[in-house]
Structure 1
Amino acid sequence: MYNKRVIGKQYEDKAKDFLVEKDFVIAEQNFKCRTGEIDIIAWNKNYLVFVEVKYRSTKGMGLPEEAVNFYKQKKITETARYYMHKKGISVETPCRFDVVSILGEDIQLISNAFEAV
C-alpha cells in the first residue's frame, strides 16, 4: 500500500543521514507550528540551516526541487522565524535555506536554495 507519510518519513530519514555525513548537526526534525513545518533544522559550520526535503521517484512530475515554489518558501521562512524566536536564537545568527532533492535513489544537496521571503 502506498502511504505518502510513510514514504516521506523514509526519505526524510535518508536526507538526515546524508546531511550528517556532510557534517551537519541535526537540531530538530519535523518542526511544526501554526505557520508550517520544516523537515530538518541543523547546524552546518556557523549556519543555522532550514532544510526542505523533496522526493520524486521519476522526473515525470518534474524535478523534486521545483516543488519548493514561492508559496512553500514563504511558509518555510515564516516557520523559521518562529523557530528562532521560540528558541531564543538571535536574528544576527547566520541562516540559510537548503533543499535536499531526492530523485529515485540520487540525493543532492542544494545549499542556499532560496533567500528568506
Structure 2
Amino acid sequence: MIDRSSKQSTGKDAEALACDFLKQQGLRLITQNWSCRRGELDLVMLDADTVVFVEVRYRRHSGWGGAAESVDRRKQQKLCIAANHFLQQESRWGKHPCRFDVIAISHKPDSPPQLNWIKNAFDA
C-alpha cells in the first residue's frame, strides 16, 4: 500500500511497489536511488542482459496529467544524462544494451494502486 502522509514516503513506497512488481516479472535490481550531480535514477535493473533505467511516477489523480505524461522531454534528458554518468562510473554495465522504462502508478481512494509498465518508454 502507498502511504500518502508525506511526499517523500509516498515516493519511496511507490518505488518499493514498482521494484517488487519488476522483480516478479523476472528483473533483477542493480541499484536504486542512484544519484549524481546531474540527476537521480529511481531504479536500475537487469532484464536478461539489458540494463533498464526505470523512472517511477505516482499520481493520486490525473488533474494535471497522468503519471506517464509527467515524464516530459526535459525529464527524459535528465534521465539520459544520469544514465550516462551511471554507465561511466559503473563500467561493468557499459557494454550491455540499455533501455528506459517508466512505471506509472495511479491510486484512487478505496482501491489498490494500478501499475502501468511502459517498456522502452523513450530513446536516449
Please say whether Structure 1 and Structure 2 have the same fold, judged by a TM-score greater than 0.5: yes
- Counterpart of 2:20 in structure 1 is 17
| Superposition CA RMSD, Å | 1.3
Scaled by the length of structure 2, what TM-score is found?
A: 0.89
- Counterpart of 2:114 in structure 1 is 106
- SS at the partner of 2:120? strand
Q: 1:102 to 1:90 in 2, by over 3 A?
A: closer
4+ runs deviating over 3 angstroms:
89-92
Give the unaligned 5+ runs of structure 2.
108-112
1:90 Cα deviation after fit: 5.6
Partners of 2:100 and 2:27 lie apart in 1 by: 13
Partners of 1:21 and 1:71 lie apart in 2 by: 30
1:109 Cα deviation after fit: 0.5
Residue 36 (structure 1) aligned with residue 44 (structure 2):
no
> How many residue pairs get matched?
116
Identity percentage of aligned residues:
36
- Counterpart of 2:110 in structure 1 is none
Within 5 Å, which residues of 2 pair with 1:44-55?
A: 44-55=47-58
Partners of 2:25 and 2:72 lie apart in 1 by: 26
Given candidates 83, 87, 91, the residue that maps to 2:86 is: 83
1:89 Cα deviation after fit: 3.4
Residue 63 (structure 1) aligned with residue 66 (structure 2):
yes
1:61 Cα deviation after fit: 2.2
Partners of 1:20 and 1:83 lie apart in 2 by: 21
